Amino acid sequence: MSTLEVILNAEFARRVRSRAFIAGTAIGVITMLLFALLPGLIHRGVGNSARRVILIAPPALAQPAARLLRANFEVVEILPRLDQRPTSAFLDAHRQASAVVILARSPAGLHAVAYVRDPSQFRSAFARDLAPLQIALATGMPVTKIVDHVAVPVDVHDVAGRFADVGAADAAKGAAFVFIFLLYLAILLNAQAILTSVAEEKTSRIAEVLVAAVDPTQLLAAKILAVTATGFLQLGVWIATGVLVGNAYTAAFTAGDVGANAGPLAVSPAEILLFVAFFVVGFAQYGVLYAAAASLISRTEDIGSVAGPLVLPVAGAIVLAQFGLLFPNSPAIVACSFIPLVAPFVMFTRIAVSPVPDWQLALSLTINVAVACGLALLAGRVYRVGLLLYGRPPTLRQIVATLRS
């Protein structure tokens, strides 16, 4: 068994048994449950009431209007008139309705007045839904006939032929968002574990014993590999949870809820491979940076001071990845998908929602693997030097001078 394997096995076992890993994995599982269930539950609990309206209209208008509104609203009650201005208590008394809509006919046509709980939540679909009634009143044509003529069937296809329909594209965006979040969570939790582990070994002087028998670069490499393996294990648990809960949720609830618009998630083996590749590269880049930074501190209390700045690029990458979901082929996002530390997040977003030219994938991977190797070499030197530096944290100038010596 090589030294690398010995350290790798020991580090992996130590991490998997650690409270931090168990707690982190549990947090991820809970997050996945929330991702899978919460939007639907919120929608079922709140969303339906947001669609409930009370219609106030004369009988001649009320029936055709109610039929038209059925597409997007639930008309909980129809009243011929309203004697006073409606209040929240009035809405509460009518199945927690969100709005009262008073419909009247004037010489100019239909006119609606809405009293709502939350104007920002009031759906503009109301006017669109009632448009056929307005036309019917103006032209004398039957409403049903107008509805038949107004409805224009639209089939949406993406030019690359990648998604079967809009639902599949929505599903890909959702998956990309979840994967990005998982990568963020995995980096945050496991890079923090590297930081703590290196700092602990250094402050307890175990490092001194280790580097007497092991090449520091090998030690660093084994740590990064162990943490990457731990990260994958964690990721596997989270994804399995997400898939199981997602499937159970889909089977338990039928159309009409959130998620019903999302189509089946089609992820090709090539995309999975690319995700794994960018995950490993991103993990390695952040892992070596965290390990090198940890080797420079002498007290575990100083962990926060080095961890803070390293969270910034991750946070920046998350923000950029959100833009990547919306504008996957904009020049700025394309450029970001080559930049180390950011690319693992942004490129995966692009892969998930839009076809990415092969040359861009190859170039991004090449740049990022090269930078990961370069960072590893640099971090190895910082680590080698930093492990034996005690006392006040060295200044940047001291670090550079030591690396040059």
Segment near another protein (CB under 8 A); pick from 200-208, 275-283, 291-299, 357-365? 200-208
Q: Determine the residue type at 402.
A: T
| DSSP conformation letters of 7-70 | HHHHHHHHHHTSHHHHHHHHHHHHHHHHHHHHHHHHIIIIIHHHTEEEEE--HHHHHHHHHHHT
**400 binds another protein, rule: CB under 8 A:** no
Q: Phi-psi bin for 205: left (phi > 0), alpha (psi -120 to 50), beta?
A: left
Among 157, 208, 243, 374, binds another protein (CB under 8 A): 208
Contact present, 310 and 145 (Cβ < 8 Å): no
**95 binds another protein, rule: CB under 8 A:** no
Segment near another protein (CB under 8 A); pick from 152-160, 205-213, 341-349, 369-377? 205-213
Cα–Cα distance between 79 and 317 in angstroms, integer? 54
**4 binds another protein, rule: CB under 8 A:** no
Shortest distance, CB of residue 19 to another protein, whole angstroms? 9
**214 binds another protein, rule: CB under 8 A:** yes
**298 binds another protein, rule: CB under 8 A:** no
Helices (H) and strands (E) in the chain, counts: 16, 4
Shortest distance, CB of residue 295 to another protein, whole angstroms? 14
Cα–Cα distance between 83 and 103 in angstroms, integer? 14
Q: Which is nearer to another protein, 270 or 388 (CB)?
A: 388
With CA atoms as reference, report the closest residue to 88 among 49, 141, 129. Answer: 49
**373 binds another protein, rule: CB under 8 A:** no
**215 binds another protein, rule: CB under 8 A:** yes
**207 binds another protein, rule: CB under 8 A:** yes
Cα–Cα distance between 295 and 380 in angstroms, integer? 10
Among 108, 159, 160, 212, binds another protein (CB under 8 A): 212
Among 205, 236, 270, 362, binds another protein (CB under 8 A): 205
Segment near another protein (CB under 8 A); pick from 93-101, 163-171, 208-216, 359-367? 208-216
**211 binds another protein, rule: CB under 8 A:** yes
Cα–Cα distance between 362 and 27 in angstroms, integer? 34
Contact present, 371 and 288 (Cβ < 8 Å): no
Residues near another protein (CB under 8 A) are 1, 3, 6-7, 10, 14, 18, 201, 204-215, 388
